[in-house]
Amino acid sequence: MRVLLADDEITISVTLGDALEEAGYEVISVADTDSALQALESESIDIVVTDIRMPGAGGMKVLERSAELDPERPVLIMTGFAAMEDAAKALSIGAKFYIQKPFRNDSMVALVGTYARVRSLEEENLSLRKKLGDGDEFTGIIGTSKAMIAVFDRVRTVAPTDATVLLEGESGTGKERFALAIHRLSSRATGPFVAISCAALPESLLEAELFGFEKGAFTDARKDRKGRFELADGGTFFLDDIDDMPLATQVKLLRVLQERTVERLGAERARPIDIRIVAATKVSLRDLVRDGKFREDLYYRINVVPVNLPPLRDRHGDVPALVHFLVERHGAGKSFQVAPSTLKALERYPWPGNVRELENAVQRAIALCGSGTELAADEMLPRDDRWRGATEVHDRVLPLREFLREHEVQHIRTALEKTGGHRSQTADLLGISRKVLWEKMRDFDISAPGDEKE
């Protein structure tokens, strides 16, 4: 494994270089930006460790060029206090980590080791890539599009490590299924897989569920109870909807990640745990950090290996295979037919609820099929035809974002009308949570017919 070490401070380049070589790495040391860029162009480099400020354009230029040549290559930033703002910018454009000077050489060596293991696994798996996620580990995940092949490859690469994974994707893109796949492909596959949705519980109950409690910790605590962290000991813990985690709970989660211990509510001592964390978010955590709704230090702990799950509208060619798979899954042994014209209509629709919405549409079509065997597009798609017309050539072509928003609003209104304004049934019909439905109705100023029913 070859490391490019770029720093003009001789004490760092010599001592850190020696420490890395003692750890088994081949080190290429340079003292200025131009030499670093030349090394990136002419040498085979696995990991870059660069100072943010050095003679020439500096480490930011090294980061940018490294990303152009090899987007997956880890770049670690060294920075002095005066350059902390630059370090934050470096992280925002792709640096994996930054470490502030002065630092212990063994800390940097350990950090390099973490990313070296991931890099090594990426290279080992390059020749083993499959086009389909058809193994038991990927049960229920269908896709042959380029976007999905990239996800399968990345999951296979990172799963055998213990690195924390952040699954990013819209509601309905299959984040929990991929979290389970990561668990099944890991060395923890025989251990427990424990999942919790941070959006499903209020703050007080969420902490009790996560951390557990001791007898007498509060009024109804009549006996000791393990939390989800402890239940996941030796396995994988999946934190879904981490973007909905309250700030107070984020502080406690950060402590768990740093110390690998968990303290039950009302307990006097912490308990060690051995878990691998996989988290999922439906919105940009970086945006939440900027808005003060998510802790920056926790973000960097969680976002070690990001995996972006594409929305169904970006998975070109996957809809027909998904439809056939879902028809077989929900057909209860009956053979249903889907006409080519129906499949083409389903491919044109943007599916704002993603695979979950498609699955609900297939189930609805099967339920309404009666004694027939051919599933109709009219039973799987919104009643109005405006979305169909927008896919054809018109005098005015809407921008894609405006088109998707317009028809997402109409689709939600159609679902609300179908359920008579019943929010819970509407959310189920759309394949989204009631919370997400409420947020979309608020953001898009959508009103429901009649009074809310529960």
Residue 86, domain CATH: 3.40.50.2300
Say yes or no to pLDDT of 342 above 60.
yes
Q: Give the amino acid at 346.
A: L
Residue 249 has pLDDT above 70, yes or no: yes
User: If you average pLDDT over residues 308-332, what whole number do you get?
Assistant: 90
Domain boundary among 103, 126, 149: 126
269 pLDDT tier (thresholds 50, 70, 90): confident
- Residue 100 pairs in a beta bridge with 79
| Mean pLDDT computed over every residue of the chain | 83
The rounded percent of the chain whose pLDDT value lies above 70 is: 86
Q: Where is 110: in which H helix or E strand?
A: helix 105-125
pLDDT at 128: 41
Q: CB neighbours of 280 closer than 8 A, spacing ≥ 6?
A: 166, 167, 168, 169, 175, 176, 179, 238, 239, 240, 241, 242
**Band (398; pLDDT cuts 50, 70, 90):** low
pLDDT single digits (tens) 401-415: 666 777 788 788 888
- What's the one-letter identity of residue 285? L
User: Percentage of the chain surpassing pLDDT 90?
Assistant: 36
Please give the pLDDT value at position 217: 61
- DSSP 8-state assignment for residue 409: H
Q: Which residues of 378-412 are buried (b: 16+ CB within 10 A; e: fewer)?
A: eebbbeeeebeebeeeeeeeeeeeeebeebbbbbb
Q: Give dist(CA 38, CA 35) in Å, integer.
A: 5
Contact criterion met (CB below 8 Å) for 69 and 61:
no
Confidence of residue 71 (pLDDT cuts 50, 70, 90): confident
Structure pTM?
0.57
Whether residue 331 sits in one domain with residue 283 = no
Whether residues 290 and 383 fall in one domain: no
Q: Do both 418 and 300 map to the same domain?
A: no
Residues 89 and 112 in one domain: yes
Q: 267 and 327 share a domain?
A: no
Q: What average pLDDT score do residues 318-325 get?
A: 89
Last residue of a domain, one of 126, 149, 182: 126
Looking at residue 89, its pLDDT comes to 75
Is 178 within the bounds of a domain?
yes
Range of the domain at 16: 2-126
Same-domain pairing of 278 and 371: no
Residues 6 or more apart whose CB falls under 8 angstroms from that of 234 comprise 188, 191, 192, 274, 275
Contact (Cβ atoms closer than 8 angstroms) between residue 58 and residue 34: no
CA distances from 433 to 17, 262, 347, 448 (A): 51, 29, 24, 17
Q: Is 452 a domain residue?
A: no
**Region 222-248 average pLDDT:** 90
In a domain, 454, yes or no: no
Q: d(Cα 407, Cα 404) in Å, to the nearest integer?
A: 5
Number of domains in the chain: 3
Give the tokens for residue 48: 């870059």
Residue of 438 and 305 predicted with greater confidence: 305
Give the helix/strand (H/E) hosting 56: none
Residue 348 near residue 386 (C-beta atoms within 8 A): no
From the list 412, 416, 426, the residue with the least C-alpha distance to 449 is 416
Alpha-carbon distance of 362 to 343, in angstroms, equals 12
pLDDT at 383: 62
Q: What SS3 state is found at 102? A: coil
Q: Domain check: are 188 and 251 in the same one?
A: yes
Indicate whether 30 belongs to any domain: yes
Q: Is residue 11 part of a domain?
A: yes
Rg of the Cα atoms in the chain: 25
Say if residue 267 is in the same domain as residue 305: yes
Q: Rounded distance, CA 194 to CA 232, Å? A: 6
Whether 451 shows a pLDDT value over 60: the answer reads no
62 and 120: one domain? yes
Identify the residue whose tokens are 């702990």. 301
Domain end marker among 81, 108, 126: 126
Question: Of the segments 158-162, 225-229, 422-426, 441-445, which one has the largest average pLDDT value?
Answer: 158-162
Task: Report the range of poorest mean pLDDT among 137-151, 174-188, 274-288.
Answer: 137-151
- Provide the angle, in degrees to the nearest 10, between the axes of the packed helices 33-42 and 59-69: 10
Which one is predicted more confidently, 132 or 317?
Answer: 317
Asked if the structure places residue 89 within a domain, the reply is yes
255 and 226 in a common domain: yes
Can you read off the two tokens belonging to residue 154? Answer: 């990345």
pLDDT tens-digit series, residues 251-266 = 999 999 999 998 887 7
Token pair, residue 284, equals: 């940009």
447/31 Cα distance (integer angstroms): 62
CATH code of the domain in which 153 resides: 3.40.50.300
Q: Of residues 233 and 439, which shows the higher confidence score?
A: 233
pLDDT, average across residues 215-242: 83
pLDDT at 394: 38
pLDDT at residue 402 in the model = 64
Determine the average pLDDT of the residues in 364-374: 84
Any domain includes 215: yes
* Alpha-helical regions (H) of 160-246: 175-184, 203-211, 228-231
Within this chain, do residues 144 and 266 fall inside the same structural domain, yes or no?
A: yes
State the pLDDT at residue 48.
93
Confidence grade of residue 400 (pLDDT, cut at 50, 70, 90): low
Alpha carbons 241 and 200: distance in angstroms, whole number: 9
- 454 pLDDT band (50/70/90 cuts)? very low
- pLDDT tens-place string over residues 20-62: 999 889 999 999 999 999 999 888 899 999 998 889 988 889 9
Higher per-residue pLDDT: 268 or 238: 238
Per-residue pLDDT averaged across 170-188, rounded?
93
- Coil, strand, or helix at residue 167? strand
Is there a single domain that holds both residue 333 and residue 259? Answer: no
In a domain, 131, yes or no: no
